[in-house]
A and B are shown apart, each in its own frame.
Chain A
Amino acid sequence: MSTQPDKKAKKKPIQRVAMPEQAPEIRRRNFEEVPLGYTPEMAMEEASRCLQCKKPACVEGCPVNVDIPGFIKLIKEGDFTGAARNLWTRNALPAVCGRVCPQEIQCEGHCIVGKKGAPVAIGNLERFAADYEREQGSGALPPKAESTGKKVAVVGSGPSALTVAGDLVVKGHDVTVLEAFHKPGGVLVYGIPEFRLPKAIVAQEIDFLARQGANVECNQVVGRTVSIDELFEDGYDAVYLGVGAGLPRFLNVPGENLIGILSANEYLTRANLMKAYLFPKVDTPIPHGKNVVVLGAGNVAMDSARTAMRLGAESVKIVYRRSRDEMPARNAEIHHAEEEGIEMFLLTAPTKFVGDENGRLTGMECLQMELGEPDESGRRRPVAKEGSEFHMDCDLAIIAVGSGANPLLTQSTPDLSLNKWGYIMADQETGKTSKKGVWAGGDIVTGAATVILAMGAGRKAADSIHDYLTWGW
């Protein structure tokens, strides 16, 4: 009899604890973060949903194999600092990954609880532990090995570079991060908007790195300010290239140079890095559209669309040539965008931009598409429908159709082998390039991917660099 109520409780599954969010009608006009975070009670309740699997499927789904049941157990027990430390052993930026990983196809997509209902909110819990430790924790630095006297230059300061720098500084090497922009963080500061990843979090991660003893030098365009060979001449023993995939792609349709057509890179850089949403309080302007179209349907497109809405647009449309199933953005972003009133124009492709006599954008000619046979990417290829031309008014168009390899650095380093798209060739396991003493990883090797993959590549390279500095190439 005494076991009855217990069994009952077990049968009734606890609902996934939803994270409180700013209401859509309010947040669509401000730049504050959308999800507000768990309270300790919420986190502990959500943590109790984890079954502590012996063979956790979730871990398989995480590119860096975070010890998911381990850190969740610590949260359940109320040891939040312990949870954060557990996370750090595998993932240098849990506060970032908890917010931006595509969990639905990674950890949470594999979670066993998800087979019957909603999976354990691994991302939310990861974010909670990291935020808690940042806000309440001691800020203690991890133990650091004795100085090895070896110098490492880490080029770029996105997630992959930050991982390499963090790992190597702890191992006792003298690390210098060289960033081209005036602020470190890579896409985390210039691309992903404040309402999705507060810049204070990134700044704190960089500060943490600096407190551990890494030098962070901005305004260093490697390939221009200094070349890779000069870095070696200046006494560096190893160089890591984590320069990202920062070359904007355009559609190459007529009229694309009209005023009011920007690459997502430019639009988001103005908004985030230059804080142009505060103009004229800050000096960098940003175009304010009434009728905005965003071409593309990845995270970058969602970020652009939601930024345009926050800058006061009357209407914002995502224009995408395939269907909803092929949209590459995280589910959460698509959902948030729709809640904020962003319209989806699917199976639509622009053929031409039109402008007025001052060269300003006024509209776009489009075609309707239908899906044909699958292409090399395995997605069904969009084909134009006969006679489906139509016109769409717009005064701001943001092109978010992907990015390529920026040739600035690689052109100035001819002995670095590249693949046919200009990405650096590096060994998958070690990150070693064709040039002695030079490693590479992240988007500049894989093409535009994800934060966690860039970090995973950074960790492997850091291990390999450490071996090299200890034993030789």
Chain B
Amino acid sequence: MFKIVKREEMSEGTVILNEIEAPLIARKAKPGQFVILKATEDGERIPLTMAETDPEKGTITIIYMVVGKSTALFKTLQVGDGYQDVIGPLGKPTHLEKVGTVVCVGGGTGVAVLHPITRALKEIGNHVICIIGARSKDLLILEDKMRDASTELHVCTDDGSYGHHGFVTDVLKDVLEKEDVKLAVAIGPVPMMKFVSLITKEKEVKTIVSLNPIMVDGTGMCGGCRVSIGGENKFACVDGPEFDGHQVDYDELMKRLQAYCEDEKTCHNDFCQMQS
């Protein structure tokens, strides 16, 4: 069993943080990599990115949004409980490079995934401008940590309950006008990554996105996570999860994410609306 040593509700009932004992994974994990977790014998294998790792303590931290049956089950786990299986680190680590000015765009729980990448980009000497957003103030996570990890932070909410009233893409356009941005990193809901990529493409700014297709094994043996990148099939779990944002077929990804919608409703019926 992989024991939970710390649990926090970052946004009440919807965004949960777990720090989990997994020394072998903590020893190897790099920013951008993920784990697959299964809570119980009959549970589903769920991929989640590591938001933090502590090799000394032998722990990894995940932050997840409660969206369906499995994440709802995860939510019931308290400190002292554990996951039956945790597998990782999976996926390719982020390619970190000193390029000058970088803009990091995060939406929803994508911010948790973005945090270690942002921090690492800054540590190697980049000027890092961050734009993070959420539907409303109470869903916004990691604001303080993101402020520490970046050179400059912008916050947006869709409903205007906090920070800039509007989408992260509005702020992004401004930033791209004013600064000489060399690289963009966008992690969040698929539509957000799609629109960020459209904007950066116009400005010819290289853009990395992190994709979240449905996965089973996470080791390249099922092909369920296949995504079209520049017209070619790639397996997100081994070739990604990060890809060149300008090459991704987002519409196909959005459709494929709906593959089990009906079944998942049987399993946990209040979910599908949230995706759309």
Genuine A/B complex? yes
Residues in B whose Cβ lies below 8 Å from that of A265: 221-223
Residues in A whose Cβ lies below 8 Å from that of B233: 250, 256-257
Size of interface on A: residues with Cβ below 8 Å to B? 40
A148 at the interface (CB under 8 A from B): no
B143 at the interface (CB under 8 A from A): no
Instruction: Check A275/B42 contact, CB under 8 A, given A219-B87, A257-B228.
Output: yes
Which residue of the partner chain, among A219, A248, A256, A359, contacts B222 with CB atoms under 8 Å?
A: A248
Residues in B whose Cβ lies below 8 Å from that of A390: none
Whether B87 contacts A180 by the Cβ 8 Å rule is: yes
Give the dominant DSSP class at B's interface. mixed
Whether A283 contacts B44 by the Cβ 8 Å rule is: yes
Residues in B whose Cβ lies below 8 Å from that of A281: 42
B residues 211-267 touching A (CB-CB < 8 Å): 216-217, 219-224, 226, 228, 233, 238, 252, 255-256, 258-260, 263-264, 266-267
Size of interface on B: residues with Cβ below 8 Å to A? 40
Measured CA separation A408–B237 after assembly (Å): 10
Which residue of the partner chain, among B24, B222, B238, contacts A225 with CB atoms under 8 Å?
A: B24
Instruction: Check A262/B24 contact, CB under 8 A, given A182-B84, A274-B45.
Output: no
Residues in B whose Cβ lies below 8 Å from that of A359: 252, 255-256, 258
**A-contact 0/1 string along B67-98, CB 8 Å cutoff:** 00110010000000000111111100000000
Whether B88 contacts A285 by the Cβ 8 Å rule is: no
Residues in B whose Cβ lies below 8 Å from that of A182: 38, 45, 84-85, 87
Residues in B whose Cβ lies below 8 Å from that of A221: 87-88, 90, 219
Whether A224 contacts B89 by the Cβ 8 Å rule is: yes
CB nearest neighbor in A for B266: A280
Residues in A whose Cβ lies below 8 Å from that of B259: 259-260, 287
Instruction: Check A284/B45 contact, CB under 8 A, given A274-B216, A406-B220.
Output: yes
A358 at the interface (CB under 8 A from B): yes
Measured CA separation A180–B86 after assembly (Å): 11
Residues in B whose Cβ lies below 8 Å from that of A285: 260, 263-264, 267
Residues in B whose Cβ lies below 8 Å from that of A407: 220, 238
**B-contact 0/1 string along A342-372, CB 8 Å cutoff:** 0000000000000000110000000000000
B25 at the interface (CB under 8 A from A): yes
Measured CA separation A285–B263 after assembly (Å): 6
CB nearest neighbor in B for A217: B24
Whether B238 contacts A408 by the Cβ 8 Å rule is: yes
B160 at the interface (CB under 8 A from A): no
Which residue of the partner chain, among B24, B219, B238, B252, contacts A257 with CB atoms under 8 Å?
A: B252
CB nearest neighbor in B for A246: B221
Whether A266 contacts B69 by the Cβ 8 Å rule is: no
B28 at the interface (CB under 8 A from A): yes
Whether B216 contacts A247 by the Cβ 8 Å rule is: no
B58 at the interface (CB under 8 A from A): no
Instruction: Check A263/B24 contact, CB under 8 A, given A269-B217, A283-B73, A285-B267.
Output: no
B43 at the interface (CB under 8 A from A): yes
CB nearest neighbor in B for A285: B263
Instruction: Check A263/B222 contact, CB under 8 A, given A283-B44, A285-B260.
Output: yes
Instruction: Check A279/B267 contact, CB under 8 A, given A270-B216, A406-B221.
Output: yes
Residues in A whose Cβ lies below 8 Å from that of B85: 182, 218-219
Whether B256 contacts A266 by the Cβ 8 Å rule is: no
Measured CA separation A256–B217 after assembly (Å): 20
B residues 101-116 touching A (CB-CB < 8 Å): none
Whether A266 contacts B220 by the Cβ 8 Å rule is: no
Instruction: Check A219/B221 contact, CB under 8 A, given A283-B69, A283-B73, A358-B255.
Output: no
Whether B24 contacts A226 by the Cβ 8 Å rule is: yes
**Complex A-B: 17 CB contacts under 8 Å:** A218-B85, A224-B88, A246-B219, A248-B221, A262-B223, A274-B45, A282-B43, A282-B44, A283-B42, A283-B43, A283-B69, A285-B264, A287-B260, A359-B256, A406-B220, A406-B221, A408-B238
The 4 closest A-B pairs by CB, nearest first: A359-B255, A285-B263, A246-B221, A266-B222
Given A274-B216, A279-B263, 5 new contacts (CB under 8 A): A180-B219, A218-B85, A224-B28, A266-B223, A283-B73
